[in-house]
Structure 1
Amino acid sequence: MIGPGALYFRKERDSIMLFVRLTPKSAKDAIDGVEATGDGRAYMKARVRAVPEDGKANAALEKLLAKWLGLAPRNVSVASGTTSRLKQVRISGDPEALALKLAALVSPEN
């Protein structure tokens, strides 16, 4: 696992783009922290019970992230990687506030 300062998200004008590695067909829905790939890119690890067909796993990821961040589900959407484990998820809202919330939620104390 890597620290909360790693670049597992990118601030945009009115949102944050979150980099996620999704594991479908898991035993439970969960956010498992932040890790890095072999090439140094960081991503948030997430697991969902939904199967990866007909967008079910993507919808479950959106719902999980919205609940985890305390946001309305309409503020979270998979922007790219719909058929891949590595995804980019757009989270609409104030980028500064979202960055602080993400850092707090992935800190080792949580």
Structure 2
Amino acid sequence: MTVWSQTGDDLILAVRLTPGASKAAIGGIWTDEKGAQWLSARVTAVPEKGRANDALVALLSKYLDWPKGAISLESGDSNRLKRLRIRGGAQPRLIAIMEEQVDVT
């Protein structure tokens, strides 16, 4: 099981977010009690008024070198476990970047 799936030209990314961290970072895999895998991410923003979600989108945009406007929250608005949609036809590029930077196997 991986932290992403493809839906047409889009990539759905499963993320476990830790808001209010001392440093923003992406890395590692967290496995829940059902065996589902989530990419671990930390942001310094607090979880109020969507600030942590916005910080997560900005962090992923920078990390993947992908436009912020092409990354949207699919589910998990007020939950630590989130699914994000990354729009565009560059899944092989995005997946290669993620595999290179994060141990997702």
TM-score by length of 2: 0.90
Distance apart, 1:39 and its partner CA: 1.5
- DSSP 3-state at the match of 1:39: coil
**Which of residues 31, 38, 55 in structure 2 aligns to 1:60?**
55
Contact 2:17 2:41 in 1 (8 A): yes
Task: Tell me whether 1:46 sits opposite 2:37 in the alignment.
Answer: no
Q: Which residue of 2 aligns with 1:22?
A: 17
Where structure 2 has 5 or more consecutive residues not aligned to the other structure, the ranges are none
Percent identity over paired residues? 38
Distance apart, 1:99 and its partner CA: 2.1
Distance apart, 1:37 and its partner CA: 1.3
Task: Tell me whether 1:101 sits opposite 2:97 in the alignment.
Answer: yes
Distance apart, 1:100 and its partner CA: 2.2
Distance apart, 1:73 and its partner CA: 1.0
Q: Which amino acid is the alignment partner of residue 82 of structure 1?
A: D
Quote the Cα distance in structure 1 between the aligned partners of 2:15 and 2:31: 11
Quote the Cα distance in structure 2 between the aligned partners of 1:93 and 1:103: 18
- DSSP 3-state at the match of 2:58: helix
TM-score by length of 1: 0.86
Distance apart, 1:19 and its partner CA: 0.3
Q: CA RMSD in A?
A: 1.5
Where structure 1 has 5 or more consecutive residues not aligned to the other structure, the ranges are 1-5
Distance apart, 1:105 and its partner CA: 2.0
Could you list the per-position Cα deviations for residues 42-96 of structure 1 after superposition, in whole angstroms to 9, with x for gaps in the alignment? 0000000101011000000000001000111111111110010000011112223
Q: Which residue of 2 aligns with 1:36?
A: 31
Quote the Cα distance in structure 1 between the aligned partners of 2:56 and 2:4: 16
